[in-house]
Structure 1
């Protein structure tokens, strides 16, 4: 189909000035549609990638990514941790304990997820996982009953570093003649952290042993391990391998594995669905442009019927006739694709500069849009555009190949 003669003739037809002005307009409209569709796809998917990556860093960097609970407890948690670290996706393991708690200050009360941590371990893993960590964690010492709050939570409670708050745990409840009495202690605010996301109002950190005492559990006991992954989105597949990894130290029936999706899966699912829907809608622009290529080629086939008939009488095969018009339509698509790629990448990489220049602030407060250009997605956009436009050229090219020379040249 794509012989040298077919390519050369198709290229000459593509370069030649169209006798039909309307066909030229349709061709221009088709190229412009592909250009705009590809450019918009690159910009939108890059921004959505950036938002997803920012959400991933700000939320999944603070919350437990994967937690393994053992109903019977880990008698030797270091051994279990070394076995878990053998997995290719696990980069760190630390004892974990958490509880739903209420924080009460003189001004307000708020519900939080209270996490017990070992400051030294958190500091080591923070460099690998970009988890929330500040120097205030060093102030968490066993028995000191100090707590670290998110900035939004501290603002809600109207407290600052050095203030005292009351922490009431959802676990460790005792029953008295007056009814259930929750476990509670006074904690001193040792520091604040800020991730720039919803976790700033939902998380609080205390020392692991202090958290266990608050929950009326053995401070030295370990019944849950928190895993840090090289990619939090691998939590599901990694979790499925946990029972096999711990086969020697824990019964599979006693293990419970849960991950960040239990609490934040819906939020990430919404972002992913929004990204897919935006990509689908913008892909329709490319599809519409492909239909315009069909219209332009059909007009070209009508205009060039006599030329095609002459070429066929000189020995041009029907497959080569198809190649002529496939080349012509594909060159229009490639032109729009190249222009769209160049404009899309240029705009995506300089999006915040452009928005600042025209005085537009999408996020407000002087915040810039996060942009991540994915090479894989660029490849998908290019491949999808080429396939759609190539398919669009087949019908007009097939019609051209079915021209009967004797019929076409009867009145010439």
Structure 2
């Protein structure tokens, strides 16, 4: 039998003769429970946001993007076409023309990006699944457009506003004098047939139009484009495939995975998650001072018992271990209850969506065992250190005095 552990269990479950010590112990347990619960929910929330962001990016962005290293555009040559056709990992690919433009609708102006896409664009991304109003581009109607929800709000325009088209303008290249707006800009008009939603940056960024309309606006040739977007087959590693494709396409083109061209988004998510973890760990450390206080009060309360144990031959090291075990068990109890409550709340949120970001989007959470492990390790280590600190106050002079 582990004697210090046995005594620690007895001390933990037995009520003290002094009511204040019982109250302090309850407060210490409550602090560990709340700290565990908060840390687990925060980590689960960030895990949910990461999955939610990944889902949104999968809808809006391709698996692989090929763009020019120098300049904005490049030519879709037979060589590039042949290289892409020879890749068994590619499920679909599409040509894209993207440029910053001026938008005008009635008396309102906005600066955004036009994105000309081919008819098979929805084979590469699931952007059509993000439509909140209207429909996706119809190749039979050249002068149509799909805009982001944020752009729609800023321009106060809806779907099929036939009374007034959306004017899309881009500055003409050259160095001649500007004598009129017509001389300064290339212009096309489009009717809005759909509005898409998604992450804030995405919903405020694009006006999707037919590829030929974008080329007409920018005076591009038939094989000129700004990017090739690629969807790869299930199970293919994007990074390995990107490296392989890069070596075949050469140094004039840049091949990036979704994670690479959204690096900032992922960095922000990871940084926020780390900072939140550190902040809540600091809060838990402060809460564990209650555990230290509870153990010290218990040591003082059990001083006569400790003197008896010491007289019976129990070593000072074993006496200290009694209270290390007691603090550890107190922390373990708080951890167990906190994790039970946290896991229950996360699963209930996933199932019933009690908390909503908007009327249609529930607050994203995700349950995974990594978060359980991280919380458990954090709480147990801090609890053990707190118990060690408290038990270090025991000395031979203290017991014999």
Give the TM-score of the pair, scaled to structure 1: 0.76
Aligned to 1:194: 197
The Cα shift of 1:380 comes to 1.1
Aligned to 2:17: 19
Confirm or deny: 8 A CA contact 1:102 1:110 kept in the other structure: yes
| Residues 137-167 of structure 1 deviation map (CA, whole Å, 9 limit, x = unaligned) | 35035x8233222344345253532733332
Matches within 5 A, 1:10-409: 10-58=8-56, 61-62=59-60, 67-70=65-68, 71=70, 73-75=75-77, 76-81=79-84, 93-120=93-120, 122-126=121-125, 132=130, 136-137=135-136, 139-140=138-139, 144-155=142-153, 156=155, 158-161=157-160, 163=162, 164-170=165-171, 173-174=173-174, 176=176, 178=178, 181-195=184-198, 197-222=200-225, 224-227=227-230, 238=239, 242=242, 245-250=245-250, 252=251, 254-256=252-254, 273-351=271-349, 363=357, 368-400=362-394, 402-403=395-396, 408=399
Distance 1:279 1:192 in 2: 37
How much is the aligned-residue C-alpha RMSD, in angstroms?
Answer: 4.1
Matched residue pairs, number? Answer: 387
Distance 1:297 1:229 in 2: 59
Q: Which runs of 5+ in 1 are unaligned?
A: none
Q: Per the alignment, do residues 399 and 370 of structure 1 end up closer, same or farther by CA in structure 2, a change over 3 Å counting?
A: same
Confirm or deny: 8 A CA contact 1:306 1:409 kept in the other structure: no
Q: Per the alignment, do residues 349 and 174 of structure 1 end up closer, same or farther by CA in structure 2, a change over 3 Å counting?
A: same
| Residues 236-277 of structure 1 deviation map (CA, whole Å, 9 limit, x = unaligned) | xx4x98566322332x2x234678899977676666555544
Q: Per the alignment, do residues 80 and 38 of structure 1 end up closer, same or farther by CA in structure 2, a change over 3 Å counting?
A: farther
Distance 1:391 1:318 in 2: 19
The Cα shift of 1:384 comes to 0.3
Q: Which runs of 5+ in 2 are unaligned?
A: none
| Residues 208-261 of structure 1 deviation map (CA, whole Å, 9 limit, x = unaligned) | 23322321112233452235589xxx99xx4x98566322332x2x23467889
Q: Per the alignment, do residues 370 and 174 of structure 1 end up closer, same or farther by CA in structure 2, a change over 3 Å counting?
A: same
The alignment partner of 1:144 has SS state of coil
The Cα shift of 1:21 comes to 2.6
Confirm or deny: 8 A CA contact 1:54 1:370 kept in the other structure: yes
Distance 2:202 2:338 in 1: 39
Distance 1:189 1:354 in 2: 36
Confirm or deny: 8 A CA contact 1:83 1:246 kept in the other structure: no
Confirm or deny: 8 A CA contact 2:98 2:226 kept in the other structure: no
Aligned to 1:4: 2
The alignment partner of 2:184 has SS state of strand
Distance 1:321 1:85 in 2: 69
The Cα shift of 1:93 comes to 4.4
Confirm or deny: 8 A CA contact 1:305 1:403 kept in the other structure: no
The alignment partner of 2:136 has SS state of helix
The alignment partner of 1:137 has SS state of coil
The alignment partner of 1:247 has SS state of helix
Distance 2:125 2:38 in 1: 37
Confirm or deny: 8 A CA contact 1:125 1:131 kept in the other structure: no
Give the TM-score of the pair, scaled to structure 2: 0.78
Confirm or deny: 8 A CA contact 1:173 1:183 kept in the other structure: no
The Cα shift of 1:378 comes to 2.6
